[in-house]
A and B are shown apart, each in its own frame.
Chain A
Amino acid sequence: MRNFSKYAAVAVIALFGASSTGAFAQDQIRVVGSSTVFPFATAAAEEFGNTTNFKTPIIESTGTGGGMKLFCAGLGSSHPDIANASRRIKQSELDLCHKNGVDEVVEVKIGFDGIVLAASKNAEPMQFSLRDLYLALAAQVPAPNTEGGLGNMVPNPYKTWNQVNPNLPSLEIQVLGPPPTSGTRDAFNELAIEGGCKTFTGMKALKKSDKRTYKAYCRGIREDGVFIEAGENDNLIVQKIQANEQVIGIFGFSFLEQNADVIQAYPVSKSGKTAQEPTFDAISDGAYPISRSLFIYGKKAHVGIVPGLQEFMAEMIGDNAAGDLGYLTDRGLIPLPDSERATFQSDVQNLTKLKLN
C-alpha cells in the first residue's frame, strides 16, 4: 500500500505536468456555430484535410447564437477562428466582437437553405399560404373577421386546418418543430409566422406604431401543445412524421433531400402568389418563401497565425464546394448565383472587413 500512494502521487503530478507542458499551441482551425451549417462545414473540413497539407479543422455544433458568443469572446488560440451562422451576424454581436478586440471580421455567404414543412408520404396533400401558417401556429391571432391590431387579438382558438382556411381539410393541427435556441426556429418565426402576420392590415399598422408589441404578436409561437418542440435533432422529426401521418414536421431542406422517398413536402405560397414546392430551383431563385442565407464569419487577425485559415474559407466558398455542381450542393446546400459567389470569393481573397449597413 505504501507503493500505491507513491504511484498515485506520481500519476497526479504526471497528469498536471503533461497538461501544463502541452503548451496549447494552435495548429488547427477551430470552427463553432450553427447546427444547420454543421453538415456543410464538416464536409468541407474533411475535403480540406484530405486535399491539402493542413490539418482537418475542428467543427463544433453550438447553435448560431452560442457560436457567436464564443467567436466574439476575443482573439488568440483559446477562441475559435470561424463562426458558422444560419442568419446574418447581429449588430449587438458585432459590437461584442469589437469590444473584445475582434475588430476585423470577414463575412462569407456560402449559400441558401430552405425550411420545409413535410409529412409522411401517406398523409393527405395540402398546401399552405404564410397566412395559414400564422393563423395555425401563432400564440395570438387576430379575432375572427377582424384585421388584427391592438385590442383585436385573441389566444389562438384554431384546432383544425379547415378552421384556419376552409380550403384545407378538417385535420387536427399538429406540428413538430425546432426549439427557440435553434437558428431554424428563428428563421421560421421571422419568414413564415411574421410573413403571414404582415398580411393583416391591422398588424401592419401596429408595426408602425409599436414595433415591440408587433414583434411579440407576430413571432410568438403558441404553447398550448399544438406546436411541439422536438429538439435540435432534425432526424428525430423526420422519423416522427413517418410514424404518425397526422403530424407535420419543420426542418432543413437537406433532410428532405435525403428522405425524399418516405416524406413529402407541402407547397407554401406568399400572399397572392402560387404555392411553391421546396425544390432546389425554387429556393435558389427565392420563389419558395421560407428560405434563408447561411454564413461563415472569419477573424482576419488570425489569418497567418492559424495555418490554413484563409485557404479553408476559400474552400468553403470555392466553386468546387459551393458551386452548382459542388460537393456541398450534393449535400443539400442551395448555391449562390455565380456573380454573388464571385464577390464573396474575392472578399476572402482580399479579407474584406465586414461593415453592417
Chain B
Amino acid sequence: MTERNVPHAELSTGPTDWKSGAMQARIARRYRRERIFQSLGLGAVVISVLFLVFLLGNIVKNGAYGFVQTSVSIDVTFSADLLGDPTSLSPEAFTEKVRKTNMLRLIQTSMQELFPEVKGRRDTRTLLRIVSTGARAQLRNMILADPALIGTTKRVELLTSDDIDQVIKGNIDISLPEANRKVKDNELSWLQTLQNDDRISLNFHSQFLTGGDSREPELAGVWGAIVGSAFTLMVTLLTAFPIGLCAAIYLEEFAPKNRFTDIIEININNLAAVPSIVFGLLGLAVFLSVMGMPRSAPIVGGLTLALLTLPTVIIASRASIAAVPPSIRDAARGLGASPMQVVFHHVIPLAMPGIMTGTIIGMARALGESAPLLMIGMVAFIVDIPGSINDAATVLPVQIYLWADSPERAFVEKTSAAIMVLLFFLIAMNGIAIWLRQKFEQKW
C-alpha cells in the first residue's frame, strides 16, 4: 500500500521514470509478491494431491488383497453311502438327501487322510477349521450341479478360513509367542505340510464381487450392496429428476419475481447445506411412520436421498436454464411459439447437458451417503441379494461402515476393497458427467 503514499504532484510530472531506483524497487516487490502468491497456490495443490495419494495409496495397499483369497486343494471322495445314489433315488429324493447331509463329514474324511495323526474331538475341530464354513455349501452345490460325481474322488479347491488366509497373506505375525496368536502352532504346522504339498494357492476371488454379505470375511461380497445401491439410486433419480426439473423450469421461466419466490429460492439454497442426517430423520418421520413403508427398503432410502439431492438438481438446472441466451427465447416467440413450446422445444434441450451434469453429480453424492440411511434401517446385516425396491437392502457406503466395525482382522482388507469398488462407481459417474458436458456443451 506504499504506492498510495506517493504525493499526487509527483505522479503528474512527466513520463514515469522506470529506471529510477524507487520504481525498480517497487517493480521487484510486485514480482516477488506474485511469486509468493503463486508458490502458495502451488503448495496448496501439492498438499491436496499428497493427501489424495496417501489416502488412495493406503486404500489400495490394504484393499488389493481383498480381491484374492487363499484356497486349499483336497481330495474329496463323494461317497454314495453318505450322499445317496442318484441312480436308484428319484432326483427330488436325491436332492433332499444331499441337502440334509452334513458336508463337514466329507471334508473330515479327506483331511484325516492327509493328517492321520490328528485324533480327539478338539484337535479334529481345529483341523477342520482350516477350511472355511462356506466349503459345505460349495460342496453341496457341486454335487447338486453334477450328480455324476457320486462315487468318484476328485481334487477340489476349497476356501480356507479367514485366519489361515491372513497367515498366508502375512497379516498375522507368526513370530509372536503362541498364546498371543489366534492361529496356534499345530495349525501352522498343518499349514506348512499343506504348503509343502503345493495344496495352498492364492487366487482371484470372484465371490467378493458376486456374493452377498456374510459374517465370514472369506465369503463376504459386495454384490448385495451394489444391487441395493442401484435400486436406491434408481428411485432417487426417478423422483428427484422430474420434480427438480419441473421446479427449476417453473422458478426460472414462469414464476413471478416477488417476495414469495425469493423466500423459496433462499430456502432451496439453504436446503443444499443441511446435514444429511436431518433428511434421514425426515424420512423416518414421513415415509416410515406416516406412510407406513417397509423398513430397510430401497424405496424409502431412495425417496430420502431424493430429498437430499433435490436442491442440487434444482440449483444446477436453474443455472443451466438461465445460461440459455434470451435471444433463443425471443426468436422462438417471434415465430409464434407458446411459452410452453419455447421452454420444451428450445430452452430445455439446450440446457439439458448442464441439467444432466448437475443430476449426475447429485446422484454421486447420494451414492456416497450413509448417515440418512441409518435412521430408516438400511444399516443392517442383510445376506440375501435384494430383488425389488421393497426388499430389505443395504448400500455400498453402509457395507463399508459395517465391515469397518467388524472384529475379524480379515475385514480390514475387505473394507478397503469395498471402498475401491465404491470409488470406481463414483469416478465412473463423474466421468459420465464430464463426458456429457464436453459432448453436448453449446458455445454461444
Q: Which residues of A contact B (CB under 8 A)?
A: 1-2, 5, 8, 11-12, 15, 18-19, 22, 24, 28, 30, 32, 35, 38-39, 41-43, 45-46, 49-50, 55-56, 58-61, 78, 121, 232-235, 254-255, 257-262, 325, 327, 331-332
Tally of contacts, chain A with chain B, CB under 8 A: 119
A255 CB contacts on chain B under 8 angstroms: 407
A331 CB contacts on chain B under 8 angstroms: 407
CB <8 Å contact, B407 and A260: no
Q: Tell me the minimal C-beta distance from B105 to chain A in angstroms.
A: 15
Query: B239 is contacted by which of A15, A24, A262 (Cβ under 8 Å)?
Result: A15
Q: How far is the CA of A262 from the CA of B292 in the complex (A)?
A: 48
A233 CB contacts on chain B under 8 angstroms: 404-405
Query: A39 is contacted by which of B125, B179, B215, B239 (Cβ under 8 Å)?
Result: B215
CB <8 Å contact, B182 and A261: yes
CB proximity to A under 8 Å, residues B226-278:
235, 238-239, 241-242
Whether A1 touches B405, Cβ cut-off 8 Å, given contacts A15-B238, A19-B389, is no
Q: How far is the CA of A234 from the CA of B402 in the complex (A)?
A: 12
Query: B296 is contacted by which of A58, A121, A327 (Cβ under 8 Å)?
Result: A58
CB <8 Å contact, A332 and B407: yes
CB <8 Å contact, B381 and A235: no
Q: How large is the interface on B (under 10, 10 to 19, 20 to 34, 35 or more residues)?
A: 35 or more
CB <8 Å contact, A46 and B242: no
Q: How far is the CA of A59 from the CA of B295 in the complex (A)?
A: 12
Given contacts A15-B238, A55-B384, list 12 more A-B pairs with CB under 8 A: A1-B348, A1-B349, A15-B389, A18-B390, A24-B293, A42-B215, A46-B216, A46-B383, A78-B292, A258-B182, A261-B180, A331-B407
Asked whether B345 is an interface residue with its Cβ less than 8 Å from the other chain, the reply is yes
Chain A residue at smallest Cβ distance from B291: A19
Q: Tell me the minimal C-beta distance from B251 to chain A in angstroms.
A: 18
B192 CB contacts on chain A under 8 angstroms: none
Chain B residue at smallest Cβ distance from A41: B381
Whether A50 touches B405, Cβ cut-off 8 Å, given contacts A42-B381, A43-B215, A78-B294, is no
Q: Tell me the minimal C-beta distance from B365 to chain A in angstroms.
A: 21
CB <8 Å contact, A58 and B380: yes
Q: How far is the CA of A327 from the CA of B296 in the complex (A)?
A: 28
Q: How far is the CA of A325 from the CA of B126 in the complex (A)?
A: 11
Q: How far is the CA of A12 from the CA of B383 in the complex (A)?
A: 29
CB <8 Å contact, A61 and B379: yes
B379-423 toward A: CB 8 Å interface, digit per residue (1/0)? 111111000111010000000001011111100000000000000
Q: Tell me the minimal C-beta distance from B338 to chain A in angstroms.
A: 13
CB <8 Å contact, A22 and B379: no
Asked whether B137 is an interface residue with its Cβ less than 8 Å from the other chain, the reply is yes
Q: List 26 A-B residue pairs with CB atoms under 8 Å apart, sorted by A's residue number.
A: A5-B344, A15-B239, A15-B299, A19-B299, A22-B388, A22-B390, A28-B392, A42-B215, A43-B215, A45-B383, A46-B214, A58-B296, A59-B380, A59-B381, A61-B402, A78-B288, A233-B404, A234-B405, A235-B407, A257-B182, A258-B182, A258-B407, A258-B408, A258-B409, A260-B181, A332-B407
Q: Which of B216, B348, B380, B402 has the most CB of A within 10 A?
A: B380
Q: How far is the CA of A5 from the CA of B344 in the complex (A)?
A: 10
CB proximity to A under 8 Å, residues B108-131:
122, 125
B288 CB contacts on chain A under 8 angstroms: 78
Q: Tell me the minimal C-beta distance from A187 to chain B in angstroms.
A: 18
Q: How far is the CA of A325 from the CA of B179 in the complex (A)?
A: 19
Query: B344 is contacted by which of A1, A45, A50, A332 (Cβ under 8 Å)?
Result: A1
Asked whether B362 is an interface residue with its Cβ less than 8 Å from the other chain, the reply is no
B59-82 toward A: CB 8 Å interface, digit per residue (1/0)? 000000000000000000000000
A327 CB contacts on chain B under 8 angstroms: 133
CB proximity to A under 8 Å, residues B338-388:
344-345, 348-349, 377, 379-384, 388
Whether A60 touches B405, Cβ cut-off 8 Å, given contacts A1-B348, A12-B242, A261-B173, is no
CB <8 Å contact, B215 and A46: yes
Q: Tell me the minimal C-beta distance from A73 to chain B in angstroms.
A: 10
Q: How far is the CA of A123 from the CA of B271 in the complex (A)?
A: 48
A261 CB contacts on chain B under 8 angstroms: 172-173, 176, 180-182
Query: A19 is contacted by which of B125, B345, B390, B405 (Cβ under 8 Å)?
Result: B390
Chain B residue at smallest Cβ distance from A40: B215
Q: How far is the CA of A261 from the CA of B175 in the complex (A)?
A: 10
CB <8 Å contact, B381 and A8: no
Whether A18 touches B388, Cβ cut-off 8 Å, given contacts A59-B380, A59-B381, A258-B182, is yes
A38 CB contacts on chain B under 8 angstroms: 381
Q: Tell me the minimal C-beta distance from B377 to chain A in angstroms.
A: 6
Chain B residue at smallest Cβ distance from A23: B390
Q: Which of A121, A258, A262 has the most CB of B within 10 A?
A: A258
A49 CB contacts on chain B under 8 angstroms: 383-384
